[in-house]
Structure 1
Amino acid sequence: MSQRAERHHQHRDVTGGWLRPSVFGAMDGLVSNFALIAGVAGGTANTKIIALAGVAGLAAGAFSMAGGEFVSVASQRELALAEIAVERRELEGNPEDERDELAQDFVDKGVQPELAGQVADQISRDPEQALQVHTRNELGIDPHDLPSPRLAALSSFLSFSVGAVLPLLPYLFGVTSLWLSAIVSCLALFGAGALVSAVTARSWWYSGLRQLVVGALAAALTYGLGSLIGASGL
């Protein structure tokens, strides 16, 4: 066929390195700062202390998430690059063995041996294409599409900040009661969970309720702990 085959569907990017840190960062920021604010509010009625705790929780969590994601993804990338280098050396030092290995991979997938050998020969003529196919088959990665540490760190920082600022907003505008912060946080928890369902197979109401229950339970337990500590005078 001289023309490219028509593509009847498209897949979303599942390896770009942004979705997991973004979702995890937003959820973590919302849940952790809501729970932190609830815990401090359970121990004191001083809104300045509560707001300060919320600001500190936002800043510390955002920088911690960004740093952790950067180091984690950078380490993962460095490991992948090291294994890709091993594969590159094998292709340069033992091209025939690697060609036979590739042909056998196609045979294992159901391709006829003669055709598998022809395909392996054609792929092996281009060293970069051969490297890409071998790393996909053996490592499950694409050497030209590795996750970015900077993208993961930035995604985590921004998403955590957005999530963490929501339960803090009422106090920044002068509200003195935890209830408005709790209402905003619970609505955000449900909304964030429902939004995640757009990129998963779960229904919006299930994802929303699951996130709401997790966040509300964490805040309730922390509030109870803060009340006990405040009552004891520590």
Structure 2
Amino acid sequence: MTDIGDDPTNKVSLAPGAVPGTEAPGLRDADTAPAAHHDDHHADVSGGWLRPAVFGAMDGLVTNIALIAGVGGGGVSPRSIVLTGVAGLVAGAISMGLGEYTSVRTQNEQVEHEVAKERRELERNPAAEARELAQMWIKRGLPPELAHQVATVVGRDIDQAVRVHAQEELGIDPHETASPWTAAFSSFLCFSAGALVPLMPYLLGASALWLALLAGAIGLFVAGALTARFTHRTWWASGLRQLVFGIAAAVITYGIGKVIGITVG
């Protein structure tokens, strides 16, 4: 928190990343309100696990449903379908895990590079950087005098200044980057779980293609419905959306497999 001025009756409290001057009059002591002490009233949107988990689960489901539909449409044996599905599960899970790790690690390295550049600029010319920060706040409606005053005070702490400039100029918080390992493991595990669903009927002894596709369809709907917990969408709308995507992929690959099976046969 940053206090402006020497007069104890004229203080402006700034939460990290907040735009100064937006506090309502008479709320200088709002940080003592009960709600201010609860930091967990929002979901964690920067931990790096939700997006790769959802992506991995949906990709695993759709990929193996499509694979099983394609080779099943080609008329291969249940044993070949299982072999194809297991190969798709292993290859896809490894690919997803490595891909998520690399992409998140690269993104974090880019953030580190930009933050380091911002720190150098603040160290070389703090006055110019303070004016630049103040101008951004003025464009948002903050009174010029207050904007320059706050920007000057923020610049006195180089670490706080780097964080505020990164948030205002780059739209990022350098202290809240996603974990590449979390993303990788989330994607790997959820892809594996999703890809296993349409394989289960075969692994349990069934030999009918429609049972595998039905299991995959149920898995898609359930997975889609579960994602609604983190969004504003209704559970049935999210479930139907994923189900439609999966059906489209299965129909296309089944048709291609059917044509190739007839042609090759």
Which runs of 4 or more aligned residues in structure 1 lie more than 3 Å from their structure 2 counterparts after TM superposition? none
Residue aligning to 1:149? 180
The reply on whether 1:7 has 2:38 as its aligned counterpart is: no
Kindly report which structure 2 residues correspond to 1:180-219, keeping only aligned pairs within 5 A, or say none: 180-219=211-250
Which stretch has the larger CA shift, 16-25 or 159-168? 16-25
Give distance in 2, aligned partners of 1:4 and 1:138: 30
Which structure carries more relative contact order (alpha carbon 8 Å, separation 6+)? 1
* 1:107 alignment partner in structure 2: 138
Q: CA deviation at 1:150?
A: 1.4
Residues 1:154 and 1:110: Cα distance change in structure 2 (over 3 Å) = same
Which structure has the highest helix share of the two? 1
Q: 1:72 aligns with which of 103, 108, 112?
A: 103
- The aligned amino acid for 2:210 is W
Percent identity over the alignment is 56
Question: 1:129 Cα deviation (Å)?
Answer: 0.6
CA distance in 1, matches of 2:120, 2:210: 62
The 3-state SS of whatever aligns with 2:237 is helix
103-112 or 138-147: bigger deviation? 103-112
TM-score normalised by L of structure 2: 0.83
- Aligned pair count? 234
- Aligned-residue RMSD, C-alpha: 1.7
Q: Is 1:58 matched up with 2:114? A: no
2:73 paired residue among 42, 54, 75 = 42
Please state if 1:134 is matched with 2:162: no
Gaps of 5+ in 1: none
d(CA) in 1 for partners of 2:54, 2:76 = 32
Question: C-alpha displacement at 1:138, in angstroms?
Answer: 0.4
Structure 2's unaligned 5+ residue stretches are: 1-28
1:8-23 → structure 2 map (5 Å cutoff)? 10-23=41-54
| Mean Cα deviation higher: 221-230 or 34-43 | 221-230
Residue 117 of structure 1: CA displacement? Answer: 2.2
1:91 aligns with 2:119: no
